[in-house]
Amino acid sequence: MSSSELKNDRILRAFQRQPVDRTPVWMMRQAGRYLAEYREVRAQAGSFMGLCRSPELAARVTLQPLERYELDAAILFSDILTIPDAMGLGLNFVAGEGPVFEHRVKTAADIDRLPQPSAEKELRYVMDAVAACRKELAGQVPLIGFTGSPWTLATYMIEGGSSKTFAASKSLLFNEPEAAHRLMAKLADTVADYLNGQVEAGAQALMIFDTWGGALDPVRYREFSLAYMRRIVEQLPREREGRRIPVTLFTKGGGQWLEDIADTGCDGVGLDWTTSLTDARRRIGDRVALQGNLDPCMLHANPEVIRREVARCLEEFGHGPGHVFNLGHGIQPETPPENVDAMIRALHELSPAYHDAAATSATS
Ligand code: CP3
């Protein structure tokens, strides 16, 4: 199906800062454990990676949040850690512990030995999941493909899993910067191939999660995270099926570097809740779209508070196009699903006032 047959293109228009009738919305981690129907399919798959490796099940959970809520995009169900897994590190998700790798990257020799998995071979199953999602969506909304940033992937590869201090991964940057550059370059080129493969398989927008960029000092952020996200953006296809493929960069905790992030050539910048949308729009809103930024904890508040905060978010961005509503980070597993309803209802009621009534935009 060509994207001209898209029934709802609000989000693609918003990423290009074109007029829309209301502010489009999707949520990071919108398919996940807060949904009972997700937990059911997850149990059926046996393991998280089993779910990611089954195109049929991955497509099923990708569509689940759209059956409940009027969202303007789907995001591929997968994980950023598919790449380190395909580099031979052996990924497991241990209950209560999160991701754990069988092998860690410890030395410069380990870095030089790492293979570069390709979208066509080792990561073929992700491309198959993209194609299955696109088919199931049948033009309902655009499909977002994604990856982790080189630095964020490297933290998991070096620490062997999640970390609070990033002591080992930061030590590599400080003590062996040349080896660190070789690792980031290898990851950047693997990620670029991976995202190109996702676009070929049908992804209509892309997002790079730099979840741990904000843990770096400004010098190391520019040198080891931002520079490699730029290297990725430079290698991406910008158009397919006659439409721009927007790419969004999200550095959690990156509010002080917005100008540099916008300068990479991306179309959208993701914001967490510590940056004001007013401030971000003033600084970079003439160049890129802004995505965010409700605190995911807000979804534990009562529906009246949620409505008031959605109103505040819309007011902070202000009138006109270029805003893609989202949370400031992934939705939490303990979130009551009915509170998501309250958020989306408030957005649908309140956001048309921020757009020109004449906007044709989405066709649905
Ligand atoms: O947004 C979506 O709905 C698409 C799916 C998606 C997942 N992970 C599914 C998932 C996306 C976009 C991700 C990205 C991801 N994965 C990031 C970047 C975004 C962020 O949240 O910062 C990171 C850092 C990871 C790594 C990861 N994957 C961790 C740390 C964990 C364990 C902790 C946790 O939240 O569960 C995962 C597992 C994971 N990825 C789950 C899901 C639904 C839960 C595992 C399960 O169901 O068993």
Per residue in 284-305, pLDDT tens?
999 999 999 999 999 999 999 9
Backbone φ and ψ for 325, nearest 5 degrees, come out as -70, 140
Which residue of 28, 29, 35 sits with most ligand 1 atoms within 8 Å of its CB, as the best mutation to test the pocket? 29
| Structural domain total, the chain | 1
Return the CATH number at 27. 3.20.20.210
Res 5: pLDDT = 85
33 in catalytic set: yes
Ligand 1 midpoint to CA 10 (Å): 26
The pLDDT assigned to 4 comes to: 52
**Amino acid present at 280:** A
The residue whose CB lies within 8 Å of the most ligand 1 atoms, and thus the one to mutate among 39, 40, 54, 79, is 79
Q: Is residue 67 domain-resident?
A: yes
What pLDDT sits at residue 358? 64
Residue 97: pLDDT band (50, 70, 90) is: confident
Average pLDDT over residues 318-322: 97
Q: Of all protein residues, whose CA lies closest to atom 21 belonging to ligand 1?
A: 330
The residues lining ligand 1, judged by C-beta closer than 6 Å to any ligand atom, are 28-33, 42, 48, 75, 77, 79-81, 93, 98-99, 146, 162, 209, 211, 330
* E-state strands within the chain: 74-75, 91-94, 98-101, 143-148, 205-210, 239-240, 243-244, 247-251, 268-270, 289-294, 323-327
Q: Are 116 and 83 in contact (CB under 8 A)?
A: no
Helix crossing, 277-284 with 303-317: angle to 10°? Answer: 20
Q: Is residue 141 within 8 Å of 8, Cβ to Cβ?
A: yes
Predicted confidence at residue 348, as pLDDT, reads 98
Range of the domain at 142: 3-354
- pLDDT exceeds cutoff 70 at 359: no
Q: Of 246, 264, 261, nearest to 322 (Cα)?
A: 246
Instruction: Give the chain's length.
Output: 364
The pLDDT value recorded for residue 94 is 86
Provide the pLDDT confidence category of residue 1 given band limits of 50, 70 and 90: very low
* Burial of 69 from C-beta contacts in 10 A (0-12 / 13-18 / 19+): middle
- Ligand 1 nearest-atom number relative to CA 32: 43
In a domain, 50, yes or no: yes
Is 361 part of a structural domain of the chain? no
Looking at the chain, the whole-number percentage of residues with pLDDT higher than 90 is 95
Give me the catalytic one of 9, 79, 210, 272: 79
Mutation choice for ligand 1 from 40, 75, 80, 208, CB with most ligand atoms inside 8 A: 80
Mean pLDDT of 102-113: 98
Give the model's pLDDT for residue 96. Answer: 84
Catalytic residue among 13, 22, 60, 156: 156
Average per-residue pLDDT in the chain? 96
Task: Tell whether 364 is covered by a domain.
Answer: no
Structure token digits, residue 326: 């989202």
Q: Are 333 and 32 in contact (CB under 8 A)?
A: yes
Q: Structure pTM?
A: 0.96
29 is catalytic: yes
Active site annotation includes 79: yes
Conformational region of residue 130, where left means phi above 0, alpha means psi within -120 to 50, and beta covers everything else:
alpha
The confidence score (pLDDT) of residue 364 equals: 44
Q: What is the pLDDT of residue 349?
A: 98
Cα dihedral 120/122/124/126 (nearest 10): -130
Instruction: Over range 77-88, report the average pLDDT.
Output: 98
Q: Is residue 93 part of a domain?
A: yes
* Whole-number pLDDT of residue 2: 52
* Whether the bond into 293 is cis, omega within 30 of 0: yes
**Would you call 124 a catalytic residue per the annotation?**
no
Is residue 116 in some structural domain?
Answer: yes
Q: How far is 28 from 75, CA to CA, in rounded Å?
A: 8
Asked whether residue 363 carries a pLDDT value surpassing 70, the answer given is no
Confidence band (pLDDT; 50, 70, 90) for 362?
very low
Which one-letter DSSP state was computed for residue 80? T
Centroid of ligand 1 to alpha carbon of 79 (angstroms): 6
Which tens digit of pLDDT belongs to each residue from 158-213?
999 999 999 999 999 999 999 999 999 999 999 999 999 999 999 999 999 999 99
In a domain, 359, yes or no: no
Q: What are 23-65's pLDDT values in tens digits?
A: 999 999 999 999 999 999 999 999 999 999 999 999 999 999 9
- What are the residues facing 210 on neighbouring strands? 251
Query: What pLDDT sits at residue 360?
Result: 55
The pLDDT value given to residue 184: 98
C-alpha 31, offset from chain centre: 12
**How many A from CA of 29 to the centre of ligand 1?**
7
pLDDT tens column, 214-247:
999 999 999 999 999 999 999 999 999 899 999 9
Mean pLDDT, range 115-129, rounded to an integer: 98
In a domain, 251, yes or no: yes
